[in-house]
Amino acid sequence: MGLLRFEDLEVFKRAYAVSLDIHRASLKFAQIEQYGLGEQVRRSSKSICANIAEGMAKAKGSQAELRRYLQMALGSADEMRVWLRYCVDLGYIEQDDWQRWRDEYEQIAKMLQGLNARARAKSLTSGI
């Protein structure tokens, strides 16, 4: 079996889905926030997906590189929880959306931690 594709990872699928929700919601923020908070949440949410993809590409040559990119994705997932708190406190998203997205980013972070531990323990060529 060959190396897994990033698109096959459940953590990527979940991070991608929530980033689309965040992107759509941020486009409704006040105009003054489109290049501030709105842009920040769009970039941070997409960064998780991009780091997973880049880490999987680097895994072919180095498990250490994969782990480094997974750590960056984990940092972005935690960062998103901060930005979402600003969004709800400033009234740009509803409490229900905040709770749902916050919980999803907590799960994504746990999945990234597990993936990182597995990458540390064995080669990805046998699957994750």
Contacts 24+ apart (CB under 8 A), 97-106: 97/25, 101/18, 101/21, 101/22, 104/14, 104/18, 105/18, 105/77, 105/78, 105/80, 105/81, 106/81
Report if residue 92 sits inside a domain: yes
Report if residue 38 sits inside a domain: yes
Report if residue 16 sits inside a domain: yes
For residue 17, pLDDT beyond 90: yes
**Torsion angle defined by CA atoms of residues 96, 97, 100 and 106, in that order, rounded to the nearest 10 degrees:** -130
Structure confidence at residue 3 (pLDDT): 60
Number of structural domains found in the chain: 1
Structure confidence at residue 71 (pLDDT): 97
Structure confidence at residue 123 (pLDDT): 55
Write the pLDDT tens digit of every residue in 58-97. Answer: 888 888 899 999 999 999 999 999 999 999 999 999 999 9
Report if residue 1 sits inside a domain: no
The answer to pTM > 0.85 is yes
Structure confidence at residue 119 (pLDDT): 86
The CATH code of the domain that includes 93 is 1.20.1440.60
Contacts 24+ apart (CB under 8 A), 85-89: 86/37, 87/29, 87/37, 87/41
Other residues' Cβ atoms within 10 Å of the Cβ of residue 63: 17
Report if residue 127 sits inside a domain: no
Write the pLDDT tens digit of every residue in 88-99. Answer: 999 999 999 999
Report if residue 126 sits inside a domain: no
Instruction: State which residues form the domain around 109.
Output: 6-121
Inter-residue contact 15 to 49 (CB < 8 Å):
yes
Report if residue 128 sits inside a domain: no
